[in-house]
Each structure stands twice: as C-alpha cells, then as structure tokens.
A and B are shown apart, each in its own frame.
Chain A
C-alpha cells in the first residue's frame, strides 16, 4: 500500500479512537459525579454502551519499578472507597458499610471481576491494573454494566477497578488481614533471568501479600507459562506463611472454575489450545514471635 495512504488511514484510526475515548471519558466523569449527586441528568443512552476493546490498545508491558504518575492513598485509612462503591457507602455516617475483600491483581480487561461479581454479589471486589487505558476500559465496562442492570439483583455495584502498581502500593490500599482472596491470573512472565525480580510473586512480596490476607485467606494463581508456574509454586511453597491446597480442593472450589475460564488472557490461551497451570495457597497463621 502507498505509504502516505497508509499514514492517513493510521491517522484516521487514531482520531476515531480519540473521539471515542473522549466521549467515554465524559461518561466516566458523569458517572463519578452521579455517585454523589443522583439528581444529575441521565447520561445519553449511547454513551453507556459496553466499551469496545479495540479503542483501548496499549503496549503490553509496563515496568513495575518506574515511577509513573500514580494516584494512591497515603494509607489505607485515608482511601476514599465511596467513589468506587457508592452503594456501599453510608452517606449519613460517611462510612463504608464493608471493606474490599477480594483483589484481582493485574486484572487486565476485567473478565474475572465480572464473574466474581455474579458469584459473590455481596462482597466487594477490586481489580488493580497498572496500564491506564486498560484500567479505563474496565471502568467503562463496569459503568455500562451498572447502567444496564440497574434494577436487577446482580447490579455490579460490588466491583471496581483502580489504576495502581500492586507491587509497590498494595499496603497503601489494604489494612492488615483485610483480604480473603487474591487472584494472580496470567501474570506477566518476565522470562529473562535478569528480570525475575520484576515478577509479581517473589519471596519478599509474598510477605506483603500475607500481611493483607486474613489467616485462611487464599492466593489463586493461574498461568499458561510452565516455567512461571513452577516459579510461583516454588516461592509460595518456600514461604512459611503459605500452604498449597491439593487437587481435590481445587476441584470443588468455585473460584478455581471461574478463574479457569473467565479472564481474557485465559480465553486467549483456550483459543490457542495452550496449557493452564493452577496453584492455590492458604494463608497460615503467623508463628509465635
């Protein structure tokens, strides 16, 4: 194809993407405002359609060590969750009625969250994702689902997404023993030896995850990369605060089933007929100190 033609086409796509995303941004802003002021005019019908993924492309990898420009609370106590779960916020006392209990770390396009919402409609679930546009996609997806399911039992008010670097700032969001489940679905593999410290499961990070998890809480992992699976199993097994759950347990656990099928990455692996490796670990009590 002619180079210049290619270029204009490229530009056209870009500008379309831009217009689309600007409209969505307006919807997000409205939705945020709406959460406080319900008398606001309803957003136009077409702007709350489910978002289209192709408008939210982003580079596949993000460096967990870099600064970015992240918004994160100064401490878990100073986190304002009311913006994320307005229906679980008591206006009178200005308190949250519940805390977040399930975290999907590196949630990608949010498929797991949506299925968790159906399985645990009364539990607050949070997706944490480092890529901005991917996070915006999930946010738009939740806005649309909430809008489309307003009067239904399952209304998606219990799920939300936050842009954040879970490896650095998890302790800013969650108090000690706050979480009952943490999901690590198809984490970035960081193949090179030199990059292993960038992996989201390391001995030292596990101590921080253990802090956020209740005793008895579960870490779920799934990946299609066998080497990464072995790595996660090795590190979790080595860690004194975790104990592996057996196949029998996996077979009867509802979340294992959900995790197996519902994430976008998992579906991609399915289409490519790849393997999926699962490992789940329970948080053990702290030893006598």
Chain B
C-alpha cells in the first residue's frame, strides 16, 4: 500500500505535495511534472554534529590539551536509546510565494528551510535553490508581500527572516527578529496602511503583534484564547480582520490592528456529533467527565468564506463573514477525515488516507468533483507494508497543555 500524502499547496493549475521525504508536483490532471527527494537523513545531522565536535577538539591549542592532560576523545555518534521518540524525515508545511514562483518547505531531517524555484517549462519543475539550516526545527513559514523574504518560526519560539534569493547565512549568524518562550504555532506577515506587521501565535494562547521590520517594538497581544492557537488566516478583501483557531471550542474573529475581539463562532454543538473516542485525552489524563476535544488543524479563506479543517473529523466547516461575525454556511459531510487541505482557484484539494486526494469545487458551497488523480496514486513513491508504518498524520492535539492530577 501507498503512504498517504501529508502536505499540499496548490495554485489553480498545479498541486505540490509531500509524502515522507519526497516532494512532488502535479498538474490538475494528475500528471507528474516535478519531484525531489530529500537525501539527507537524520543520521547525517548526527554525523555533522560529530564532525563539528572533532573539529573543535582539533582546534584546541596543544598546550591546553596537554594541560588538561587528556587524550582527545573522538565523540561517538549518539545512538538514540530504545525509549527515544522516532525521528521522521518529514517534509512539512509547504508554502508558495504569492506569485507562485517559489515553493518553500521545512525538513525535519536537518532542521532546514528548503526553497525551490518553480519552472514549468523544465522536465522537472522543481529546482532546489536554497537549503538553510536552523538551530532549532522550523515549524511555520510566512512570505512577505514582496515575495523576497520568508519569515520562519521555530519549535522553541524564535522567529527569523531569510531572503529567498542569495547566499545561506551560517547558522551561528542567524539572529531571531522576535521570539516567544513557547512552541510557535503560526506566523503571518501582514500590512496595515502601508506598514507591515508580524503576527505570531503559540501554544500558550498568545498572539503577538510586532512591527515589521522594526520587530523589537511590540504593538500588542491579542488575548482571548484559552487553548493553543494552530492557525491564523486573513481575508484578501479586508486585511484588518484576522481569523484564529486551535484547541478552543470557538473560532475567533479579530480586528487585529485595533486589538479587538469582534466575535467568536461556537463549534461545540455543531462538531460534537462528529467526534469519537480518538478525540478523548490520552489515557493518563482521562477522567470520567473529560470532554472530547476539538482541534483546528488548518483554515483557508476564499473570498468572504473560511473553510475549517478539524483533526479527524468527517466534515469540512464553511463559515462566511458578515457584519464582523462568522456565520454558518455548511458543515460539509465527508466519509473520511482529511489530513491537509489547500485552495487553488475555485477548487479545494484535500488529502486523506482513504482516497489519497479529493477535489472540491467551491462556489459559496462545496461539492465533491468526480475526479480521480490516477497519476498521483501511481507516482506516489512511498510503498509501505501496513498502516503501522505511516508517519503520524493527526498530531495537532499534542499541542494541548495537560496536567496530571
């Protein structure tokens, strides 16, 4: 069986997907037009670290070494113990520049940002032009309006910017432009009256608004979430508005510039019937009255609509903004949960274990298109024996903070 695709971004003509450590590009007919495989594994990262240590030891002046009266010990490549978490060689969180000229992704193997030039006239449309490593694993990306700069948030709360074109920056010279003391969950670069701002969200319910490029001047925080935030999106028609969601029972609508919570759309009654045992907290945190947990995985906006993907829920929620409030359009039922979604033109593409990919048309309401992407199924390079070998596909809920009693 094939390993499901994990991440997708799309334009109206092309789809870019990742599966394990592979990246592929397809046209909307399902023809393979580009591919790339990450040949760096996590072992390489460990090897690199070992080499750096040896290098450092060799550089230590002879005298000091003699003083310490120690033989130079060659550090061993650390081998993870039996209890250590599995490291996956993922490619995650794909983004396209606004002009669709560059594709940007994150690799877990060596904690880097990978940038591809997209040239549809080439046999393989994906050409790697940059691989920038970071001290901590990047976990979210946003692209500046002028398509020249990528903003990157890492797992330890730091936010960096790097140019799309040009030389790599040595890791030690990378300086964060702002930071949270928390796991960063999303970053968004936006604009108001000709001035730019960065919004950054974290696991500790914070959304911080900083000026950009003068990021050391914080504008304010948007307070109101009770749980982690996983997704922040905006509408093209009014960039003062911000929609946020995560581990709460609500989708929040803000005027982010004016620091005002406009409204909260309640999810519990609507989504509850679609939750099952898998939405309960892990065993050791479970009580008799533990509620099933709702987690927003991703949101996308189209015109005045927001499409919401929840973790392991057989349905897509569509909301519409009217008078500074979110209103229900539909909870579109599905036979299986989606892993990731992306919009291109009036289409929405959804990845899943069951159907690999599903195409929807959206014209104020969703319909499923009768379309099979045979090429995608045939060209998926990742063959596995069983579901046990799947990389974790539904992980959003691990952001939830829990405490033992």
Contact = CB atoms under 8 A, between A and B. Distances in A.
B178 A204 contact: yes
Contacts of A171: 206, 208, 221
Given A208-B218, A211-B218, A168 B204 contact: yes
Contacts of A287: 214, 217
Contact of B176 (A167, A176, A204): A204
Contacts of B181: 64-65, 165, 167-168, 205
A122 interface: no
A154 interface: no
B220 A176 contact: yes
Contacts of A289: 195, 211, 214, 217
A240 B216 CA distance: 8
B107 interface: no
Q: Name the residue in B176, B178, B223, B403 with the highest tally of chain A Cβ atoms < 10 Å from its Cβ.
A: B223
A169 B401 CA distance: 15
A83 interface: no
Interface string A106-129: 000000000000000000000000
Given A69-B403, A167-B181, A168-B204, A207 B218 contact: yes
A210 interface: yes
Nearest to A67: B401
Contacts of B185: none
B346 interface: no
* Interface size range of chain A in the complex: 20 to 34
Nearest to B226: A74
Nearest to B212: A289
| Most chain A CB inside 10 Å of its own CB: which residue of B175, B180, B195, B402 | B180
B50 interface: no
B30 interface: no
Contacts of A178: none
A207 B217 contact: yes
Contacts of A168: 180-182, 204
A239 interface: yes
A207 B178 contact: yes
Contact of A197 (B156, B205, B216): B156
Contacts of B282: none
A254 to B, nearest CB: 30
B216 A74 contact: no
B179 interface: yes
A176 B182 CA distance: 21
Contact of B158 (A67, A77, A204, A208): A204
B217 A286 contact: yes
Interface string A207-251: 110110000000000000000000000000001110000000000
* Top 10 closest pairs, chain A to chain B, by CB: A204-B179, A75-B223, A211-B218, A167-B181, A207-B216, A69-B403, A168-B181, A286-B217, A171-B221, A67-B401
Given A77-B223, A203-B175, A210-B218, 16 more contacts: A65-B156, A67-B402, A67-B403, A69-B403, A74-B223, A75-B221, A75-B224, A171-B206, A203-B176, A207-B210, A208-B218, A239-B216, A240-B216, A241-B216, A287-B217, A289-B214
14 contacts: A65-B156, A67-B401, A67-B403, A75-B224, A169-B204, A171-B206, A171-B208, A207-B178, A207-B210, A207-B215, A208-B218, A239-B216, A240-B216, A289-B195
